[in-house]
Structure formats: C-alpha cells, structure tokens
Chain A
C-alpha cells in the first residue's frame, strides 16, 4: 500500500512569511495527525483529526498555526506568520479507526525559518 505522502520535502522562508504543508494519508485511514519535531527532540502533537473533525488541537499555537481536513482525506497545515522557533520537521501520520493502531508516518517537511 502507498504510504503517507507529504510535500514539500524542504522549505526555507523568512520570518513573518507564511507557509503551507500538504499531507495525503494512507487510503482508508480515518485518523490524521500533524506532529512538530524540533531538532534533537521527539515529535510533539500539534493536531489530531478524526475524518474531518478535530479531536485534539490543545497544543496547536492557534494564533499562527491552522490546519484543515475538509473532505476527510488530505490535510493542510499552515503557519502565518512564521517565527524563527518554528524551524522544525513537520510530520504527518495516519492510522485506521481501531483503538491504538500504529501510526504510519510520512517523510516530513523540513522547515527552516531565517
């Protein structure tokens, strides 16, 4: 089966600019996650979707970050305006609906904010 697809692979922007990341989960996976991984740290959850509804966005900096999954499939994560501390790898993951099925991760988007 095809894995989780993410684009772009790399992005470099200046602070205060905006950026968007795209994720296409594994076909049939109802749950989609966005994680932020700062260099040298473990991934940290930003938001979890179940179909097109938000299950958990408690750690999403809502003043600058937004995410949507309008049709319950693809998802977009946006940062506007970006700050230097947003430099990180943004990982998308998906899982099926069974309780505690493993998360399957994409290759991530490496964002550098200068």
Chain B
C-alpha cells in the first residue's frame, strides 16, 4: 500500500530564510506520480507541482524548487527567500495504481510553515 510521510509537523522561519520541507513516500509500483499542494488559511488546496517517477530532474519555479530522489524515495520542497505569504500547510501526495483507473491521491499529514516578518 502507498504511504506518504512528512515528518516535520511545523516549521517556523524568519522572512528571507530558505526552508526545506521533507517528503518520503512508499509504493510498490514502478510508475507513480508525486505532488505538492499548498493549503493557505482559506482552506483551498492549491496545486504546486507534479512529478512522474521516470523524471528525476530537479525543478525550479521562481523561489520554489523540488528535489526528487528515487534512491531515497524522497521528494523534498525548498522555498528560497521565504515570504510571509508562504505561510500555509504544505502537503506532499502520491498517486499510483496506474492500471486500475484509481487516480486518487494519498496525502501526507502536512507541514505547517510559519514565516515571521
């Protein structure tokens, strides 16, 4: 069965600091997708990135970057020069079961990031 672990429950940083959110996953499938979502206080889950299991290239989007390492089953998320608006709960999620049509996401428990001014 699939599982996503986000060991960091809460992180607090001061604005402009860099911060890395950890995500470790478990799956028996060779083909799977990994996601990161942001949940601000308003409650809506906002999609940030999707990565498939065959693409281990790191990705950068503005101040956000992602490090995918299959060898350690990790998909970590770094925010560079954090801002107060980055304060939210961040969820890592996994989608496998490629052949069944079941494409629902399995979420981790989330990491609450607080960026202090």
Binding site for B on A (CB under 8 A): 31, 33, 40-45, 48, 50, 55-56, 89, 91, 93, 95, 99-100, 102-108, 110
Contacts and interface: CB of A to CB of B under 8 A. Distances in A.
A31 B104 CA distance: 10
B47 A103 contact: yes
B91 interface: yes
Interface string B83-116: 0000000010101001001111111111000000
17 contacts: A31-B103, A33-B104, A41-B110, A42-B110, A43-B105, A43-B107, A48-B103, A50-B101, A55-B101, A55-B102, A100-B33, A100-B50, A102-B35, A102-B47, A103-B47, A103-B105, A107-B42
A44 B107 contact: yes
A45 B105 contact: yes
Q: Is the interface of A mostly helix, strand, loop or mixed?
A: strand
B110 to A, nearest CB: 5
B87 to A, nearest CB: 17
Interface of B: 4, 33, 35, 37, 42-47, 50, 52, 91, 93, 95, 98, 101-110
A56 B106 CA distance: 13
Given A105-B44, A107-B44, A41 B104 contact: no
Contacts of A43: 45, 91, 105, 107
Given A48-B102, A50-B101, A100-B52, A42 B107 contact: yes
A104 B45 CA distance: 8
A7 B91 CA distance: 24
Given A103-B45, A107-B43, 8 more contacts: A42-B93, A43-B91, A50-B101, A55-B101, A55-B102, A93-B45, A100-B33, A105-B45
